[in-house]
Structure 1
Amino acid sequence: MQISALFFLLAYLIPNHYLPWMSFYSEFLVFLGLWILGVYFAKAEMKVGFSVVFFVFLSVVPVVQFASGVVFFFGDAWVAAFYLIACAASLVLGRALYDRHRGAAYAFFAWVFVLASIVSSGCSFYQWFGLAGGVWVLSIFEGGRAVGNLAQANHMATLLSLGLVSTLYLVEVRSLGRWSSSLIALVLIVAIALTQSRTPWVGAACLLMWWGVKYRAANLTLRPAVLGVWCVFYLLSVFFLEDVRELLYLERQDETLLDRTLSSQRLLIWGQVVQAILDGPLWGYGWNQVGVAQVSAALTFPVQLLSLHAHNIILDLLVWNGPLLGGAIVIFIAGWLFVLARRSVTPGAVFALLASGLVLLHGLLEYPLEYAYFLIPVCLLLGMVEGEVSMVAWVKSAPLLRYFALSSCAVVLIAVWVEYRVIEEDHRLLRFEMGRIGGIKADHDAPDVVLLSQLREMIRLARTEVVGPVSPEELEWMRQVAYRYPYIPCLYRYSMALALNGSLDESIDVLLRLRSIYGEGDYQMVLAGLREEAVKKPALNALYQAIAVSR
């Protein structure tokens, strides 16, 4: 169990984040930790509840979507299915963890969060003071927000918040004293302020409400008024942060917390996604394909910002699965969480639901639940709560099935590791090629991988030179890649291919969608490139002239 905890801890602390999958190494460590936990309980009786069955059945949906052509790439389908199966496994293992260790099961994750947040706080202070050098802490630009080693300020804020509520739990069970816990809370709260994240504001309000509701029912010792004082200290830390920065002669931030608070970008993204849901297929755009929805709604609800996620887990589920199935999924999960919340009457269950609630709250504003280092711990914690409140479950003791599942997962993890290392190196080479750095060029269009086919095809399109008409099959492949990854080069290549195939109106439509997503500045750069291409490929003259007239 300690080895599993070490992998979970390292997932929050390693500074390795590289394109094209920035969080791969952190998420891979979480899956390793989960697999080791599975080995630890390989001989134990497993209890399977309704929630586990729900996630197992849900994992079939992306596979069916791929088989029916809704999801474009096999890689997207199986990755989504694998994450959902991991959710089911986490619920089972969380219940097993509670059945064997009772209250100590909660302390298992509480200590992981506390240790990870303390170390991450040190990284945050290091970054905020503008210190540079070394390989153990991510470097940020001067005046930037503290990100720890998670590379995202909002993720960092959520991790620190988890560390804070874990500290509260350890105080409740007398694993930490008042003075040591106060010192930890002081450091974590200041570190949260350094992230300049807005989510902790709402999280603080939810913490006070949840603690107030469960204070007597769970016999909690820490009074809500004390938490209120700490919340006031957090607000003061946020308010005076820029003054302290000036006092220490540190670089000012280009965008303050107030600027981001007044920004309406997220509301615009939500509006565009809602429009895409209303205008889209009844059964959704497919798992991992919010980009397809954004391109589809780019002209009816223009938002000049590329977002491959809805920044709201409810909207994500509705985009992926459509209003009918997606709505049913949301209702089931909401009802399940409500039942767990009502039955939680111990400090451990209160802590688990509070920690899960903070991540879910973040999930209503962004997409932390699409990262294994938040998703898997949340499911493990909820599995523990299910075990404590005695949710209905069936006892399963099929050892052969368990050993087969563990062996299969090990094979998949090894295969994914090998394939991703190939893809990462090839993508790095691709960036050198596109930047015309050095004279090295790949001797292939795309890496030879099977499981991560979505990344393989993205790289293939990036290396594809559009020189003339292509077959209908190749044109459809370009459309799928360009809509799945609606980056400027992908949309531009697809537009040129349409023009060279004689589909002028469709080509113009793609360029207009590009302008809607990226804005006039990037659009003019694309037109400048198109003008140069039209000199070399006269067949593109018609496209350029038509676009020039439409301006």
Structure 2
Amino acid sequence: MSYFKKYSQLTAGVFLVLMWVIPDHISPWNTFLQEAFACAGFVLLWGGGGVTLIPIRIYICLSLLAVISIVQYFLGLIGLGDLVFLILLSAYCCMSSSLGILSLIEQRDCVNYENISKIDIVFLTILLGALINSVVGLAQWQGVEQGMFMYPSKGRVYGNIAQPNQLATLLLMALVSLLYFDINKKIRGLWLYSASVILVFTLVATQSRTGALSITIMAVVVFFIKDFRKSLHWVSISLLLYWAIFIKWADISNFFGGSAAREFSGLSTTRYKLWEQMYAAISEKPFIGWGWLNLGAAQQNFTVNIGGAENMDHAHNLFLDLMIWFGVPVGGVIAIALIFWMVRSLHGNIIAKGNEKSVITSQCAILLILPIAVHSMLEYPFAYMYFMLPCVFFMGVVEGNTKFLKLISSNFKKLIWIFIFLSLVLSVVVGREYLKIENDFRASLLEEQFYTKDDELHQYASSSLILSQYQGLVKVLRTTPSSDIDEENVESARIISKRFPWLITMRQYYLFLLKMGKCDEAKNQELIIESFFGRFGILKAEEYSIKYNLTGICN
């Protein structure tokens, strides 16, 4: 192995651990750093290794999404920034899936412990990331003083990944990694049992209903895969330990002085109301959809009449999101394709015979995808590159043992190289622009809250080349209703309040409507705010209408 390849893979491994453990989650793009490390990690792991085989089914689905997003852009449903986001997402997913195939092929040459395959690296980084988050999570559970390396706890355990169900899914992926290393005789005995106990205990501490469902389904699948029979002893013990701790969690948590236990009572009525709103939105625009990432617009159109749900930017169900964004024809086809792929892949790997390393690796890959798939039915891990890229990587690994591969021509290979190069350039531009926008966003909030002298005002960056959605967000927030407002400002605020469905953006749109004397629209916006945020939202809107002397305009 060359020094360049060796150190690029080492750096990739570090980045792929960092994407799970960085504690910083800064608005407006809360997971920018984590997703940047995910993209950089998989690019370095790929290392320019070439693209000779492609998983044609994955490429077709991603190409279909890219094409429909271009159509939506020209129809005015989405902006340039969101179009670029989806194209970059497709590019990285294509690269990651091809990397999965090539890694499976390369793994066959790793015949001793000195050679570590790229698949080993991905499994290992998932395991390390989960164990680090377990330590942080257990510290949160015990109420340990949170330092700069820990995301502060708010009563539930979520490590540095900032969301309990996301941590639960990571922990389940780590259990699959343990299974992979156990079968390959790389982690055994005390290390294996110690790691599994830590992961299982932390999984219970997340109090995740999604985690409870996923670990049970995974254990059942493991039972039916013949090649995993030798690991059934510790897998069975882990499942029994999980449910034993789960049932007695309140007593255990109180005994050790941990944070309060959560009541497990199934799905909340809020989730059902959200899905009811989504069904109504799909019925309203069944063919072309509401636009990529425009769920806020869909929800706000129905929340006053249906109510009962918080403001959301995802439907908490992958299939609903696809149909909201892209319409029933495209979203429905991709949803059916994903179901078909998952069922066929599970069935194929359960009945697979032989103990070849590639077969076992494929079985572990589909098992690792399973908790992400279950989680995607109830929330949206697919919205984050640190889940999406590992998932697509392992989908590529699974595809590597199928007949649905295409050997590409030299001309098509050149086209892919050009596309990859342009994607990397775009990624650098997006990163540079976002870092400036993050500073602008923070400054706009501070200048609204605190009086600032003219000579101390923040110098805002010039217009963004790509991130038009975030540039528009900053522009709306820094425009005060006390200044001159025109129709263009109102329209910008309307678009931003739907693209970023937050109280601060909805409130700003409401104030702009008051300023322009659009009383009927302002009343409707007030009802939307009340539906999402209740009395608190109304009080906030009234507070700022008083601040800018807008209270008497629509009386």
TM-score if structure 1 supplies the norm length?
A: 0.89
The Cα shift of 1:70 comes to 1.1
Contact 1:276 1:293 in 2 (8 A): yes
1:475 counterpart residue number:
490
1:382 counterpart residue number:
395
Task: Please tell me whether residue 317 in structure 1 is matched to residue 330 in structure 2.
Answer: no
Distance 1:532 1:282 in 2: 44
Amino acid at match of 1:79: F
Spell out, residue by residue over 1:393-432, the C-alpha distance to the aligned partner (whole angstroms, 9 max, x if none).
Answer: 2334445435433432332222122111111111222222
Task: Please tell me whether residue 227 in structure 1 is matched to residue 253 in structure 2.
Answer: no
2:294 counterpart residue number:
289
Q: Which of 447, 450, 458 is equivalent to 2:465?
A: 450
The Cα shift of 1:260 comes to 6.3
Deviates more, 1:310-319 or 1:336-345: 336-345
Amino acid at match of 1:350: Q
The Cα shift of 1:530 comes to 2.9
1:92 counterpart residue number:
98
Over 3 Å counting, the alpha-carbon distance change for 1:343 and 1:281 in structure 2 is closer
The Cα shift of 1:192 comes to 1.0
Q: Give matches, 1:3-22, under 5 Å.
A: 3-22=11-30
Q: Which of 519, 531, 542 is equivalent to 1:516?
A: 531
The Cα shift of 1:531 comes to 4.8
Distance 1:123 1:190 in 2: 13
Task: Please tell me whether residue 423 in structure 1 is matched to residue 437 in structure 2.
Answer: yes
SS of residue paired to 2:407: strand
Task: Please tell me whether residue 280 in structure 1 is matched to residue 295 in structure 2.
Answer: no
Distance 2:322 2:553 in 1: 41
The Cα shift of 1:133 comes to 4.7
1:549 counterpart residue number:
none
Task: Please tell me whether residue 506 in structure 1 is matched to residue 524 in structure 2.
Answer: no
The Cα shift of 1:99 comes to 1.8
Contact 2:103 2:397 in 1 (8 A): yes
SS of residue paired to 2:305: coil
1:66 counterpart residue number:
73
How many pairs were matched up? 530
Over 3 Å counting, the alpha-carbon distance change for 1:145 and 1:514 in structure 2 is same
SS of residue paired to 1:393: strand
Spell out, residue by residue over 1:142-174, the C-alpha distance to the aligned partner (whole angstroms, 9 max, x if none).
Answer: xx2222221222111111111111111211222
SS of residue paired to 1:221: helix
Task: Please tell me whether residue 492 in structure 1 is matched to residue 507 in structure 2.
Answer: yes
Q: Which of 271, 292, 302 is equivalent to 1:266?
A: 271
Amino acid at match of 1:297: F
Q: Which of 47, 64, 69 is equivalent to 2:54?
A: 47
Distance 1:243 1:447 in 2: 57
The Cα shift of 1:195 comes to 1.4
Amino acid at match of 2:58: S
Task: Please tell me whether residue 123 in structure 1 is matched to residue 129 in structure 2.
Answer: no
Task: Please tell me whether residue 463 in structure 1 is matched to residue 478 in structure 2.
Answer: yes
Spell out, residue by residue over 1:100-140, the C-alpha distance to the aligned partner (whole angstroms, 9 max, x if none).
Answer: 22484543322222122122212222222222253222232
Distance 1:281 1:531 in 2: 41
Distance 1:488 1:51 in 2: 37
SS of residue paired to 1:388: coil
Amino acid at match of 1:434: E
Amino acid at match of 2:347: R
SS of residue paired to 1:272: helix
Amino acid at match of 1:376: L
1:148 counterpart residue number:
159
Could you list the runs of 5+ residues in structure 2 that have no partner in the other structure? Answer: 1-8, 111-116, 353-358
Contact 2:55 2:404 in 1 (8 A): no
TM-score if structure 2 supplies the norm length?
A: 0.89
Q: Which runs of 4+ in 1 moved over 6 A?
A: none
1:82 counterpart residue number:
88
Q: Give matches, 1:155-166, under 5 Å.
A: 155-166=166-177
Amino acid at match of 1:227: V
The Cα shift of 1:457 comes to 0.7
SS of residue paired to 1:450: coil
The Cα shift of 1:525 comes to 3.6
Distance 1:359 1:148 in 2: 18
Contact 2:38 2:386 in 1 (8 A): yes
1:210 counterpart residue number:
221
Over 3 Å counting, the alpha-carbon distance change for 1:443 and 1:524 in structure 2 is closer
Percent identical among aligned pairs is 24
Distance 1:410 1:324 in 2: 31
Over 3 Å counting, the alpha-carbon distance change for 1:407 and 1:88 in structure 2 is closer
Distance 1:281 1:542 in 2: 39
Amino acid at match of 2:333: A
Over 3 Å counting, the alpha-carbon distance change for 1:235 and 1:438 in structure 2 is farther
Spell out, residue by residue over 1:307-328, the C-alpha distance to the aligned partner (whole angstroms, 9 max, x if none).
Answer: 1111111111111012222111
Q: Which of 311, 330, 333 is equivalent to 1:328?
A: 333
Spell out, residue by residue over 1:44-84, the C-alpha distance to the aligned partner (whole angstroms, 9 max, x if none).
Answer: 6233523213212322222221111111x211121122112
Spell out, residue by residue over 1:325-352, the C-alpha distance to the aligned partner (whole angstroms, 9 max, x if none).
Answer: 2111211222223332333223211211
Amino acid at match of 2:530: R
SS of residue paired to 1:47: strand
Spell out, residue by residue over 1:518-541, the C-alpha distance to the aligned partner (whole angstroms, 9 max, x if none).
Answer: 1133213423543554xx35xx62
Amino acid at match of 1:355: L
The Cα shift of 1:470 comes to 4.5
Distance 2:148 2:515 in 1: 48
Amino acid at match of 1:132: E
1:109 counterpart residue number:
122
Over 3 Å counting, the alpha-carbon distance change for 1:133 and 1:204 in structure 2 is closer
Contact 1:269 1:303 in 2 (8 A): yes
Distance 1:234 1:11 in 2: 27
1:135 counterpart residue number:
148
Contact 2:146 2:152 in 1 (8 A): yes
SS of residue paired to 1:300: helix
Deviates more, 1:204-213 or 1:193-202: 204-213
Over 3 Å counting, the alpha-carbon distance change for 1:25 and 1:198 in structure 2 is same
Amino acid at match of 1:505: D
The Cα shift of 1:6 comes to 2.4
Task: Please tell me whether residue 435 in structure 1 is matched to residue 449 in structure 2.
Answer: yes
Contact 1:161 1:200 in 2 (8 A): yes
Distance 1:154 1:140 in 2: 14
Over 3 Å counting, the alpha-carbon distance change for 1:467 and 1:532 in structure 2 is closer
The Cα shift of 1:12 comes to 0.8
SS of residue paired to 1:351: helix
Over 3 Å counting, the alpha-carbon distance change for 1:135 and 1:521 in structure 2 is closer
Contact 1:48 1:395 in 2 (8 A): no
Amino acid at match of 2:83: A
Distance 1:156 1:352 in 2: 19
The Cα shift of 1:387 comes to 0.9
Task: Please tell me whether residue 174 in structure 1 is matched to residue 185 in structure 2.
Answer: yes
Distance 2:516 2:65 in 1: 40
